[in-house]
Structure 1
Amino acid sequence: MIITTPPVTIDELMQRAEALAGLTLADVAQALSIAVPANLNRDKGWIGQLLETALGAEAGSKPEQDFLHLGVELKSIPLNANGLPLETTYVCVAPLNNVTGLSWQQSLVYHKLQRVLWIPVEGERSIPIGERHIGMPILWQPNAEQQRQLQQDWEEIMELISLGKVSQISARHGEVLQLRPKAANSKVLTESIAEDGNVQLTNPRGFYLKTQFTAEILRQYFG
């Protein structure tokens, strides 16, 4: 039985997450009376939303942790047949304007990544979505070195944003964290700082964790 009310403690959250391990996405969807999409082209966030519902997360699309009362962010992570991440992990939208004085400890990236519940899911495209299995959960907190890497990348990227160089930032910037366009299409625009200090329009950007960073987290736990 899947309980969708918010978990009261981290132990309760972990017990629920562990109970999902070994089930298919169709098993969970059926228990929640949710239809399984034929593909994820138009439903990219479907797996994450399914797991949020199954575990009682309340944040939805709000800019806060999924389990704010527990200080835990939920992230699903699609894996290939070798158990390696198939794609980068979205963290949050990046601020592109009014960033003066913003520190790492005040940032949404810092807030979201202080404690993460990772749920591995089979991600090979050859496996129909409903037949993909859920793996054992990992409750992770960044160690001192991971914190240093994240802070260094965030500060370097934010400095470029504050100097009006957002259009020059590529996915290659950053050791573990990268900045990428984050919008349904290129027509979506938001305000950012221009090089002359004025405001310009650009595509929204998001912070993403690189796959080698999330692969390292998995190695830490699963060897």
Structure 2
Amino acid sequence: MQNITYETIEQLMEKAYGAVGKKIGDLDKSNRIQNHKNKGNLGQIIEEGYFGYDVNNKQEADFPNLGVELKVTPYKWVNNNKKVSAKERLVLTDINYEKDYNIHFTESHCYQKIEKILMMFYEHEKDKYKYDYIISKVFLYQFSQLSKEDQLIILNDYETIISKIKSGNAHLISESDTFYLGACPKGANSEYKVPQPFNSIKAMKRAFCLKNSYMTQLLRNQIFNKNQNRESFIKDISILYHNTFKDIIENTFSHYEGLTLNQIDNSVGFNVNRNSKNYLRVYISKMMNISVDANKLDEFEKADIVVKTIRINKKGIIRESMSFPAFKTKELIDEDWETSTLRNLFLSKKFLFCIFDEIDDTCKQYKFRKVMLWNMPEKDLESHVFNAWRKTQDILTNGLHLEIKKQKTGKTIVTNNLPKKGDNLILHVRPHTQKSVYKLLNNETIGDGNIERDGDLLPDGIIITKQCFFMNNDYILKIINE
């Protein structure tokens, strides 16, 4: 095939917009979707069938004379189809441990791939065949047109990844080490390892990527224009020239370490209403000098940072384990570990633990200890977390054992054999709802919950109360005290 040359970006974009509304199958001139060896790479289908370019493995940009990379990527609708979300991270290029450590960001292959990206979006629909996906949005992503804040955070992310390679710790890199630009696993599975230059321990093969959360905010803010005027945490961009985003977060809270809530009231010039259920989250916002909940900050949403308040009582114990979203049994059963919801959650998320020590909970008196920006170590993820996930999947696949007990009070309770807190160092499984509901095969209903709201259907037809993974409170305490 003789490649078509696009002389200007305007000419390329005009061609790209012409694909909007077209089915990918109609653009597949070489029947790549049916080619099992090719696996139907949608980017290659568009590049070859629509733009008229031969598919190759060269490291240069897909449109080399314009320096533009082509990426075809899916989105989905969440929250009852009210919010758009990226379905996956946007993989840019493989990390070369042997070479990349010695290359500045603007000279790197990563920068060549991120400098200009022609993004073509399609909506992923669960039961729709690839052939019928429709190109619905086109966007030219240009690094030079990003806010200076985003540019500096991405630069810092790149340097964080490179510094781990230089220190001989490529095997300890995690996607959740960074904020917008990630180092995602690359390869058939997590056991695929390659050499690194400054350590004999082999490291997981990885690629630079724009993280799922970053892509989600790009979709909401610039593609669909649904998320305008998000409040920013960083008010003075110049501090990013000399501090990492992590430094800025920690320095913001350091002024309040050791202060009681009364002292924080005086310091911020505002008396927080402690009768509110989430009053400690209000204190977090006041310490950060923001007007919204910290989880709604522009930078935190892009970086997938989740703020968690941690209360430690007088005995040095965290009262509650940390819950995660409820899972659907049928979906968990069908998952592979490598692409599972739970694994991807811990691979990408950072948690900002805001830690308060009890003085007297009866009158809501606490002392602020510190914040801690934490992500799950991959050695824990691939061992204890995997074991809890696998055991849960096995039990749900092979038959959940329910035991119905009548208490002295006359109340009927239902227990099961899913992983308990004592079974695993990190995670356990229990109900995620305030009200329980069970519907057995004989149509007997137990509990005062609502089946549609609180129930989850098992493969055998039984409905149980929705379940979720909880992170053990003693594991969290160990993290904080290390």
Give the TM-score normalised by the residue count of structure 2.
0.41
CA distance, structure 1, for counterparts of residue 187 and residue 5 of structure 2 = 29
Change (3 A) 1:112 1:59: farther
CA distance, structure 1, for counterparts of residue 200 and residue 5 of structure 2 = 41
Change (3 A) 1:44 1:124: farther
* Counterpart residue number, 1:73: 69
Cα shift readout 1:52-104 (whole Å, capped 9, x = no counterpart):
11223457321121111011111112011343210011010112124454211
Change (3 A) 1:213 1:186: closer
Change (3 A) 1:35 1:72: closer
1:26-65 matches, within 5 Å, as 26-29=25-28, 32-37=29-34, 43=38, 46-53=41-48, 54-57=50-53, 60-65=56-61
Change (3 A) 1:33 1:56: closer
Structure 1 gap segments, 5+ residues each:
none
* Counterpart residue number, 2:110: 109
* Counterpart residue number, 1:146: 150
Instruction: Give the drift of 1:37.
Output: 3.4
Change (3 A) 1:129 1:175: same
1:1-223 matches, within 5 Å, as 5-29=4-28, 32-37=29-34, 43=38, 46-53=41-48, 54-57=50-53, 60-81=56-77, 82-142=83-143, 143=146, 144-185=148-189, 188-193=192-197, 197-218=198-219, 219-223=221-225
CA RMSD across the alignment: 2.5
CA distance, structure 2, for counterparts of residue 174 and residue 183 of structure 1 = 20
Instruction: Give the drift of 1:114.
Output: 1.0
Cα shift readout 1:92-145 (whole Å, capped 9, x = no counterpart):
011212445421111111111111111001222321111111012101213122
Higher strand share: 2
Change (3 A) 1:95 1:33: closer
Change (3 A) 1:83 1:55: farther
3-state SS, counterpart of residue 18 of structure 2: helix
Instruction: Give the drift of 1:212.
Output: 1.8
Give the TM-score normalised by the residue count of structure 1.
0.85
CA distance, structure 1, for counterparts of residue 149 and residue 138 of structure 2 = 22
CA distance, structure 1, for counterparts of residue 214 and residue 62 of structure 2 = 21
Cα shift readout 1:176-221 (whole Å, capped 9, x = no counterpart):
111122123567543212xxx3555334211111112112222224
CA distance, structure 2, for counterparts of residue 184 and residue 112 of structure 1 = 23
Asked which structure has the greater RCO (Cα within 8 Å, sep 6+), the reply is 1
CA distance, structure 2, for counterparts of residue 104 and residue 165 of structure 1 = 19
Contact preservation (8 Å) 2:195, 2:201: yes
Aligned-residue sequence identity (percent) comes to 27
Contact preservation (8 Å) 1:58, 1:67: no
When the two structures are aligned, how many residues end up with a matched partner? 214
3-state SS, counterpart of residue 135 of structure 2: coil
Contact preservation (8 Å) 1:58, 1:66: no
Contact preservation (8 Å) 2:33, 2:40: no
CA distance, structure 1, for counterparts of residue 218 and residue 53 of structure 2 = 22
Change (3 A) 1:140 1:161: same
Return the index of the structure with the highest Cα Rg.
2
3-state SS, counterpart of residue 65 of structure 1: coil
CA distance, structure 2, for counterparts of residue 140 and residue 98 of structure 1 = 26
3-state SS, counterpart of residue 105 of structure 1: helix
